[in-house]
Structure 1
């Protein structure tokens, strides 16, 4: 059996579904290959003891730039745009790191990833 297509999408996880949506109405022929008997990749829901149990992916990260946010909002899902604590902690670390290691010549020698060469040093 021979198959021909302009585009072959491998997998129906978030990226594969996004590719399908992006190509819809493009006029291109598309073949989608999926190894599992369901769509969704790592994101899926199972029923356990009468309760929906989300397995794998359970959130949309990077809401400020994630293309799935508009899809979720269109489906009536509320999006929490609060930055994750880990992201806030990383920002705070980078700020404190710049103050400590990047401004202290002896610590700059430790090759801090945030250090910047300064004029005259």
Structure 2
């Protein structure tokens, strides 16, 4: 199991890995590591505006695309869910089992769960 590394520990590891490159220039290793750690912490804690002003536009377009694809998938699945309900499946778990038996998968290719059926049914899009 992989252990979680804090961002400061990751920076320390990075600083230590590049120290060999900088020692050739004659700097003291502890001083050099201290400078690199300080600069990295300053960079991580800075709250500068986004460098790419168009990033928010790109994020909004991506969000709209995701919503559009989800709506299309929901429209495609609703007739199958209605068919499952007609077949006597009254709970989301029963509908999920029916969809899995029929070979349908979620938009990401996974088996259906009661939660995924619930999200399709409860979505107000």
Q: TM-score, normalised by structure 1?
A: 0.30
Tell me which structure has the larger Cα radius of gyration: 2
Q: Which structure: greater helix fraction?
A: 2
Q: Which structure: greater strand fraction?
A: 1
